[in-house]
Amino acid sequence: MKLIINYSIYLVTDHNCLGGRDFLACIEDALRGGVTLVQLREKNVDGGIFLQKALAVKKLCDKYKIPLLINDRIDIALACKAAGVHLGQADIPADVARSLLGSEAIIGVSAHNCEEAIAAEKSGADYLGVGAIFPTNSKEDASEVGLNMLKEIRKISKLPIVGIGGIKAQNYVQVRAAGAQGAAIISGILGAENIEDEVKKIKSTISD
């Protein structure tokens, strides 16, 4: 049976935001604060190191009963028994990922326009990651699509939408008001001085 996912406060990891702080301690602070979903995103890391980190993060997520998704790497998702993966436009299609991960896996796909959103839905994606909503330094290749594109995609897709890119406590409500079920947040959580309190601050703005 497929997990019912709460996309509202979706943490995407990036050790570059931590200012030298301990990675796992910061992830646990975010979990303690109330994030509802975690995506482990590790760029330019050897597979063995990625897997070690994935197993450690999975253990933490299990402790707080929060699903873990892996960015891009289906092999790592399988090896650590993650809930699923998030795929970019340059990654393998969602239907191929589904054939490898199984029917219960959660598969998200990045979409920057309506055409990509429609294609992702047809290929069996469970949710869409739409962005960048606001300017961001966390993803070097992110082009800003803005709230208006999120609204357009909301009109043509039945899938849950997660906004990503430059989202923080101050603008979180705008993303939800535009039709997103949640927001994927990187530096807006992990760059905070007190990560647990920052997540609680975001959580306090949620009305549904």
Closest among 103, 62, 109 to 81, alpha carbons compared: 62
Residue from 139, 154, 168, 187 carrying the catalytic annotation: 139
Nearest-angstrom CA–CA distance, 145 and 132: 6
Q: What are the tokens at 59? A: 């253990």
Cα dihedral sign for 145, 149, 151, 155?
A: negative
Q: What are the tokens at 135? A: 């300017």
- The yes-or-no answer on residue 41 being catalytic is yes
Residue from 53, 73, 110, 168 carrying the catalytic annotation: 110
Nearest-angstrom CA–CA distance, 40 and 57: 8
Residue from 8, 41, 53, 154 carrying the catalytic annotation: 41
Q: Which residues are catalytic?
A: 41, 110, 139
